[in-house]
Amino acid sequence: ATPTAVMVGTGVGASQGVLIKGGQALESAHKVDCIVFDKTGTLTIGKPVVVNTKLLKNMVLREFYELIAATEVNSEHPLAKAIVGYAKKFREDDENPAWPEARDFDSITGHGVKAIVRNKEIIVGNKSLILDHNITIPVDAEDMLAEAEGMAQTGILVSIDGEMAGVLAISDPLKPGAEEAISILKSMKIKSIMVTGDNWGTANSIGKEVGIETIVAEAKPEQKAEKVKELQASGYTVAMVGDGINDSPALVAADVGMAIGAGTDIAIEAADIVLMKSNLEDVITAIDLSRRTFFHIR
Ligand code: ADP
Ligand code: MG
């Protein structure tokens, strides 16, 4: 393609909300035959909500949620925001909505959070976080986890002073058009893969809904980047689509990094292409534009 064609291509992209950072990014996109998608905030809307609570201890919901919110209010995680937002419901009549004080807050990346609230040790997170603290998970908690995961929800466990106290089910639905975008990519002979820090059960359910068969779950940020490199080593030209801090090593490793515009600054910084409208159709727009520029179709 001539420099003029590349300029036209990036210009057309920009007018459609697809920001292409230079000619190299536009050129690489037409060779892509494999796309790695992050789950939360990329395939899903990324604004999770609490949809179910199971109490395992004899306590009132208001107190239960005060202890959790006091812990989670110190976390930036979308799940933390969902939990704190939901907890506010139980104190709507309150004049002073401040949460109880939390000491010794600790965030365990990819697992959850803990703190001391009202002299009780509060742990909120996934199964491995609870097991790492040698806390027994009763059968009814396991059942609720499995049920949540089967419905593509994320189950979050809560322990108070070393004993399981409750389970929350959190739902983060697919973006509109996600399923269609994956099916169009399939017809373009492009393989789609999902990587996520979320658990296998939820990841498999979301994969089924969106039509992605190849999944990597319970992945750490380095493992997302490793997966990209592994695919490249087996001959694929790989695009990575992501929105989060967790995704930036993979966005850099990919042949084409695509950031969701509504995502974190660090993801946008790390990417070659920014999807300003934050929708998945624009992954196709970007590849189409590159193919047209470099194959002179139409
Ligand atoms: P993703 O890649 O899907 O954005 P993360 O790697 O950030 O996921 O988190 C993985 C899992 O760790 C979450 O699905 C959740 O179970 C648990 N987790 C992480 N942060 C928190 C938190 N602040 N509160 C509760 N659970 C959390
Ligand atoms: Mg994400």
Do 144 and 180 reside in the same domain of the chain?
no
pLDDT digits (tens, 9 = 90+) for 197-211: 999 999 999 999 999
Cβ(168)–Cβ(52) under 8 Å? yes
Residue to probe by mutation, ligand 1, list 44, 137, 154, 198, most atoms within 8 Å of CB: 198
How many angstroms is it from 295 CA to the middle of ligand 2? 33
State which residues form the domain around 208: 3-46+173-295
Domain boundary among 125, 150, 171: 171
The predicted complex's ipTM stands at 0.94
Tell me the pLDDT tens digit for each residue of 81-131. 999 999 999 887 666 678 999 999 999 988 999 999 999 999 999 999 999
Q: Which atom of ligand 1 is nearest to the CA of 41?
A: 4
Q: Which helix (H) or strand (E) holds 53?
A: strand 49-55
Residue in 38, 243, 255, 272 annotated catalytic:
38
- Which residue, among 176, 182, 172, has the nearest Cα to 283 in the 3D structure? 182
Q: Are residues 22 and 93 in the same domain?
A: no
Burial class (CB in 10 A: 0-12, 13-18, 19+), 47: middle
Ligand 1: which residue has its CA nearest to atom 2? 197
Confidence of residue 244 (pLDDT cuts 50, 70, 90): confident
Q: Supply the CATH number for residue 250's domain.
A: 3.40.50.1000
Task: Provide the whole-model pTM.
Answer: 0.87
Read off the CATH number of the domain in which 123 is found: 3.40.1110.10
Using CA atoms of 263, 197, 190, 43 in order, give the dihedral in degrees to the nearest 10: -50
| One domain for residues 39 and 54 | no
198 is catalytic: no
Cα–ligand 2 centroid distance for 198 (angstroms): 10
Number of domains in the chain: 2
Tens-digit pLDDT profile for residues 164-197: 999 999 999 999 999 999 999 999 999 999 999 9
Domain end position, chosen among 145, 171, 197: 171
